[in-house]
Every structure is written in structure tokens, then in C-alpha cells.
Amino acid sequence: MEQPRRITDSFPRRLRRRGPGRPPGRLKDKKDKKDKKDKDQDKVQAKVRDCSCSPSQPSPDPALLEMLRRFDLSWEYGPCSGITRLQRWERAQELGLSPPGPIRDALLEHRDNP
Amino acid sequence: MFSEQAAPTAQGLLAPPSAEPPTFPRVPVSGYSDCSQPFQLGERSFSRQYAHIYAVRLAGMRPGLERCARKQWGNDIALRKLSELQAGEKCCVVGTLFKAMQLQPSILQEISEEHNLVPQPPLPKYIQPSDELMLEDELQRIKLEGAIDVQKLVTGTIVAVYGSEQDDGRFLVEDHCFADLPPPLPWNGPSSDRFVLLASGLGLGSVSGEALLSTQLLVDVVTGQLGAEGEQSCAAHITRVILAGNLLSQNTQSRDTINKAKYLTKKTQAASVEAVKMLDEILLQLCTSVPVDVMPGEFDPTNYTLPQQPLHRCMLPLASTYTTLHLVTNPYQANLDGVRFLGTSGQNISDIFKYSSMDDYLEILEWTLRAGHISPTAPDTLGCYPFYKSDPFILTECPHVYFCGNAPHFQSKLLQGKEGQRVLLVTVPDFSATQTACLINLRDLTCQPITFSGFGADSED
């Protein structure tokens, strides 16, 4: 699970209100669960995150998110809480568990979006 | 041995002073490299859970254990995960041990109001006949019974068990094996006699000053200010001094200041301040003459969790101006003259002592080497930093000298491994109680104790 800290630290407050609607494909996303939790404080950050993704891509690909979620929940690579996905991937690599390469590429491509 | 190094032309003390006092240059320092980088923590984050360290420990030691299992029980044994077990099938499982102990101090039980319990006083040993062993792998756990010594083993050890699952859901163990000694390091030891002095538990700052005379004697012997020329020439062969923890005594740890009112404690100084000043003076005398490695221990002013970080040099203003003072971590690993030293200040061994039926510190030390892990009880009963990437306590290479500090007595043993490993196991005694330090000869890996006492029949070795 991502830490709320990481989202709040990296994004400056720019806008005041939350976007009108969220793309339906992201409703089940973990990040959205975080949105609901931090609704009061992070309305701004949530919107900013949407905005910061948008220059590169309208929204993260739901299939990509599904792949990342499967990576998080797969037990072979150890616990997923408390470390970033990239750290977990690197650790799995060093232990010789051969995590799938596309995950790493996706994580590096969206470095600003843990 | 040490005293045989005396120069043949040495004069005794009862001789007139010679015109030209002979000088004995200390053997030069050569080949020191500090290998304890894995134990040095950079930025520390405690927001992680300890599940990571267990996962990494299991994943890191699993290949070695599978190799050992194949070597011991044949190449064709079935290696299964707990989720793949079938009742009655003989197979081998690799996992982490967990010992469920009734007497283990549990903070949750203590603060739970429904039990109305008084906090349990610390006991020397927490073992009981009713303890049970469980094997855990990444997903499941299973109770173990059979040919496995429940009292001896401790939580956190990675083990491979061979047996079969019974119908009642328990695993009947027929045999088990550990990771065994790690692969040996090449031997580049010196060809002439060189000694390293190991001492631990100086216990400065204690209420009684009995050990102070012995500590001063130790310093005088090492710096060559004691004895006639014979002893001085012997002392010139000491290339290094390692102080393995507990430089301050337990008395400096009083926490009364926390409980008392502020107006009572405002002007009092912590007892450790005086003790650290004393330590600084002693280290100053030692550092002017010989390289010293100072490891922190249980009662020293550094962090509590393993790996303990080095003492900060601002606490030792006089001694830290010398480059011969090295403030190192606990556990400590270094190459001295081609000989690999690895040791701790004893917290890992005494923790295993509390939770296991093994009584002998040397036996526990040997067992940790065979289990392939410096302190298996680490996150469970001994404080540990939440590592996530790798477990630095896993033994990947076999050291030549493996020591632990603050043991009740001095013991040493030379262990020979199957792959040609030669390890000298040393339990360094507590100096404040026994006034004994150890001298290790790097050339042939022998060890002898050296006792300093002000009064009594025992003279210096």
C-alpha cells in the first residue's frame, strides 16, 4: 500500500477542488481507496495527481494497474507493504526470483506515480 | 605462546638500568580492512514491518538449505512447500521455525486488563516442557513433532526438515538439517606471530572500582609500560585491541530520572557521562600505542536495536583525535592481516541462551555458525532494524575467528569444517567480573586467556 506521505510530499498544491468525475476504470484502484481515506486533506493532491498524469497519458492504463496489483499480491516476492513497488521488484531480482520485466519498465516509465 | 616471545637478551627487573634502554617497535600495521558495511545503516526508516526481514531471510537461505538437504538425504528427495504437502508423503520442507513459548514475555498479555497480570519478572530462561515448534514458510505454518529437539531450537532459525505429514495435520520429523558452515575464505594469515587482544565488558562507571586496577594493568601491558624488557617485547607483538562491547557498566543505565520529579533530577548528571569520560582517558592511553576497535554493547550509549551503530566520536574527544581509534558497529567484521574476524558483543548469544536449553555459550556460538545466521532470534525477542532488502546477519562466508563478548567464562575451540573451514570460536569473558582478556595468535589461530588481578595467586600469563 502506498504511504499517504509519498503522495503529499511530491505534489504541490495547485488547484482547489477535486475533478468533476473520475474515470470509471480506476474506481477499484488502490489509489482511489487512498482518495476516499484522505478525502478532506488530499482533495487537492488527488486532483493534482490526475493532472500530473495527464500530460503523459490521459489516465494510467487499467490493464497496467491490474498487472501491478497482481504483482503486489503475488506471494513469491515477499510482503508488499511498506516499500515501493520498484524496491520490491529490485529485491526480487536480487534474490533471483525473476520478476517479470514489463513491470519494471512500467514502474520506471511512471516514476512519479508510485 | 605469548610469553615465549620474550627477547633472549632481555634483562629482568632486578638489573641496573642499562645505558641505552632498548626499544621494541610494535609490529607494523598491515592489511586491515573493515568489512562491516552491511551493518552500517544509512538513513533509517522504522515504518516498515518485520515481515520483510523474515521473507528475505527465508528466500536468501533457501537455496543453501536445499543444497544441504540434497547432500544429506539424497538427490531425489521431494522438496515441497507447505501448501503442496500430501498426507503420508515423505518430503523435505524448508522454512522458518517458530517456537510457541508459554513463558515468553508478551507485551500484549501484560497490558491486557482482562488478565489482570503483574508484569512478569525477567527470568534467566524462558523454556518450558510445554513449548511447541512450528515451521512456517511463505504462506502456511505447520506444527512439528518427532526427531527434533524442541527445547534447543529458537524462533527464527531457517531449517530443512525431512518427514511426512500426519493425518492430524502435524508434521512428523524424521531428520532435520541446518545451513551448515558457510563456504570457507582463503587463508592469508601472517607468517610470524601476531597477537590481537580481545576484551569485553570493561564495565566502567560501576559503583565498585575493583575492575579499574585490572583495566589499568591491561592498558599498561599493551602499551609496554609494565614488566621487564621480556614482557615489553612480548607486548610489541600485539597488533590490535578489540573491545567487544559493554564498555560502560549496567549501573550507568539507571532510569530513575524518568520516574522522579523534575526538581529532584535537574542538577544530576547521568551516570554514563562520568563513565564515558573515564573511557575516553583509557582509550587515549591505548590509542597512542596500538590500533583499537571499539564495539558498542548492550549498555553503551548507542541505539538498542541490532546492528548497533558505532559510538559517536564526539563522546570521546581526547581519543578520537588519533587515527588508531576505530569506532565500529556491533556485529563487527574485518580483515586483520588476512584473517577474517567476525563477532558481536554477546547480545545475540545471551538472547538465545534465554530461549533455548543450551547452557554453554561456546555451544550456542557454534550452533549459530552451523545454522548460518548470527542472531536468528533477531526481530522476535532481540531488537532489530527492519531490513527489507537483505538480511545482513546471514553468514555468507566463513570467518576465521568468530567471537562473542560478555560471556561468563573464557572458552575457545578450533572448529574444522567439511569443506576445509577452520574457525576459531572464542567466547570473550566479561572483564569487570573475571578480569580476563583473550590473546589470539593470528599465525596459527590459537587463543589464550590473560588475567589481570591486583591481588591473589594468579599472576599474568
B56: chain A residues, CB-CB within 8 Å = 78, 91, 95
Minimum-distance CB partner of A78 among B47, B56, B63: B56
pLDDT per position as a tens digit, B214-254: 888 899 988 888 877 777 888 888 889 999 988 888 877 76
Average pLDDT, chain B: 84
A46 in a domain, yes or no?
no
Counting one residue from chain A and one from chain B, the pairs whose CB atoms sit within 8 A come to: 40
Cα atoms in the Cβ-side hemisphere of radius 13 Å centred on B34: 20
pLDDT per position as a tens digit, B132-153: 899 998 888 899 988 888 888 9
Work out the pLDDT band at A31, boundaries 50, 70, 90: very low
B55: chain A residues, CB-CB within 8 Å = 78-79
Work out the pLDDT band at A24, boundaries 50, 70, 90: very low
Nearest CA to CA, how far is A92 from chain B (Å)?
9
CATH number of this structure's domain B50-108+123-177, picked from the four choices 2.60.40.10, 1.10.3720.10, 3.30.1330.60, 2.40.50.430 = 2.40.50.430
**Interface with B, mutate which of A84, A91, A93, A97 (most B CBs under 10 A):** A91
The pLDDT, as a whole number, for residue A6 is: 63
**Cross-chain Cβ contact A90/B389 below 8 Å:** yes
- The three-state DSSP-derived secondary structure of chain B is CHHHHCCCCCCCCCCCCCCCCCCCCCCCCCCEEECCHHHCCCCCCCCCCCHHHHHHHHHHHHHHHHHHHHHHHCCCCCEECHHHCCECCEEEEEEEEEEECCCCCCHHHHHCCCCCCCCCCCCCCCCCCCCEEEEECCCCEEEEEECCCCCCCCCCCEEEEEEEECCCCCEEEEEEECCCCCCECCCCCCCCCCEEEEEECCCECCCCCHHHHHHHHHHHHHHCCCCCHHHHHHHCCEEEEEEECCCECHHHHCCHHHHCCHHHHCCCCCHHHHHHHHHHHHHHHHHCCCCEEEECCCCCCCCCCECECCCCHHHCCCHHHCCCEEECCECEEEEECCEEEEEECCHHHHHHHHHCCCCCHHHHHHHHHHHCECCCCHHHHCCECCCCCCCCCECCCECCEEEEEEECCCEEEEEECCCCCEEEEEEEEEHHHHCEEEEEECCCCEEEEEECCCCCCCCCC
Whether the pLDDT of residue A28 is over 50: the answer is no
**Cross-chain Cβ contact A79/B52 below 8 Å:** yes
pLDDT per position as a tens digit, B363-378: 999 999 999 999 999 8
Write out residues 35-54 of B within 8 Å (CB-CB) of A: 47-49, 51-52
Whether the pLDDT of residue B9 is over 90: the answer is no
The pLDDT, as a whole number, for residue A110 is: 72
The pLDDT, as a whole number, for residue A8 is: 61
Domain total for chain A? 1
The pLDDT, as a whole number, for residue A13 is: 63
Mean pLDDT, residues B183-209 taken together: 84
Q: Is A110 helix (H, G, I), strand (E, B) or coil?
A: coil
Least confident interval from B102-116, B424-438, B444-458: B102-116
The pLDDT, as a whole number, for residue A92 is: 84
Nearest CA to CA, how far is B125 from chain A (Å)?
33
pLDDT per position as a tens digit, B385-435: 988 888 889 998 899 999 999 999 899 999 988 888 889 999 999 998 888
Minimum-distance CB partner of B388 among A76, A83, A97: A83
Whether the pLDDT of residue A58 is over 80: the answer is no
pTM for this structure? 0.79
Closest-approach residue (CA) in chain B for A89: B389
pLDDT per position as a tens digit, B34-69: 888 888 887 788 888 888 899 889 988 998 899 889
Distance between CA atoms of B412 and B363, rounded to whole angstroms? 10
The pLDDT, as a whole number, for residue B418 is: 85
Answer whether B33's CB lies under 8 Å from B334's CB.
yes
Work out the pLDDT band at B461, boundaries 50, 70, 90: very low
Whether the pLDDT of residue A40 is over 60: the answer is no
**Domain residue limits at A97:** 62-110
Whether the pLDDT of residue B70 is over 70: the answer is yes
Distance between CA atoms of B370 and B397, rounded to whole angstroms? 12
Whether the pLDDT of residue B196 is over 60: the answer is yes
| Bigger pLDDT: B402 vs B122 | B402
Q: Is B388 on the interface with A (CB under 8 A)?
A: yes
Residue type, A21: G
Nearest CA to CA, how far is B84 from chain A (Å)?
15
Work out the pLDDT band at B455, boundaries 50, 70, 90: low
Distance between CA atoms of B423 and B417, rounded to whole angstroms? 8
The pLDDT, as a whole number, for residue A52 is: 37
Rounded to the nearest 10 degrees, the angle between the axes of helix A62-73 and helix A101-109 is 120
Cα atoms in the Cβ-side hemisphere of radius 13 Å centred on A14: 11
Whether the pLDDT of residue B71 is over 60: the answer is yes
Annotated domain spans of chain B:
25-43+183-252+270-451, 50-108+123-177
**Cross-chain Cβ contact B139/A78 below 8 Å:** no
CA distances from B99 to B92, B143, B145 (A): 20, 10, 12
Distance between CA atoms of B84 and B166, rounded to whole angstroms? 14
Retrieve residue B279's grid coordinates. 573511557
CA distances from B84 to B78, B98, B100, B104, B164 (A): 11, 20, 24, 32, 12
Q: Is A31 helix (H, G, I), strand (E, B) or coil?
A: helix
Whether the pLDDT of residue B321 is over 50: the answer is yes
Minimum-distance CB partner of B48 among A83, A90, A94: A83
Minimum-distance CB partner of A79 among B47, B55, B60: B55
A47 in a domain, yes or no?
no
Q: Is A81 on the interface with B (CB under 8 A)?
A: yes
Q: What count of other Cβ atoms lies within 10 Å of the Cβ of residue B334?
A: 20
Minimum-distance CB partner of A82 among B47, B56, B63: B47
CATH code for residues B25-43+183-252+270-451 = 3.60.21.50
Work out the pLDDT band at A11, boundaries 50, 70, 90: low
Minimum-distance CB partner of B388 among A3, A91, A96: A91
Cis peptide bond prior to A20, omega within 30° of 0:
no
Percent of chain B with pLDDT over 90: 22
Nearest CA to CA, how far is B70 from chain A (Å)?
20
The pLDDT, as a whole number, for residue B184 is: 87
Whether the pLDDT of residue B19 is over 70: the answer is no
The pLDDT, as a whole number, for residue A42 is: 42
Work out the pLDDT band at B122, boundaries 50, 70, 90: confident
Distance between CA atoms of B235 and B229, rounded to whole angstroms? 10
Closest-approach residue (CA) in chain A for B56: A78
A78 in a domain, yes or no?
yes
Percent of chain A with pLDDT over 70: 44
Single out the residue of B155, B171, B154 nearest to residue B163, CA to CA. B171
Cell 591486583: give the residue. B454
The pLDDT, as a whole number, for residue A27 is: 38
